[in-house]
Amino acid sequence: MNDPHSGASVTFYNYLLTVFVEGDVRANGKVSFEDFDKLVDVAAATPRYFKLAPDTRVEAERRQMFEAMDSSGSGFVTFRKFLRFVREHTREKLAEHAN
């Protein structure tokens, strides 16, 4: 997570890109909240297995995450914003899990 050139970081990037592309149902490089909500279910499957993500879905929390990424208020999130948010969110979760 801390070395963007590591093999693990590249693999994580590719995983997130794949998940994002699958969630981008309009194929326009951005996702709406509804698309994001579905995308998170797919992306969270592996972290849930390792107890790094909750087993339940709380719409208010997802809305808050989406709005944190959608800094322009456009109603859409690009891959770049998604990637930046998920990397930071994952760092925080891994640090919590280590304690």
Residue 78 in 3-state DSSP? strand
How far is the C-alpha of 39 from the C-alpha of 45, rounded, in Å? 10
CATH code, 71: 1.10.238.10
Q: What is the mean pLDDT of residues 59-83?
A: 94
Q: Is position 2 within any domain?
A: no
Does a structural domain hold residue 1?
Answer: no
Percent of the chain's residues with pLDDT above 90: 55
This prediction's pTM: 0.85
Within-domain flag for 83: yes
Percent of the chain clearing pLDDT 70 (strictly above): 98
Q: If you average pLDDT over every residue of the chain, what do you get?
A: 89
Is the pLDDT at 67 greater than 90? The verdict is: yes
Q: How many domains does the chain have?
A: 1
The pLDDT score that the predictor gives to residue 17 is: 95
**Domain containing residue 47:** 7-98
Asked if residue 40 is part of any domain, the answer here is yes
Residue found under tokens 């899990």: 97
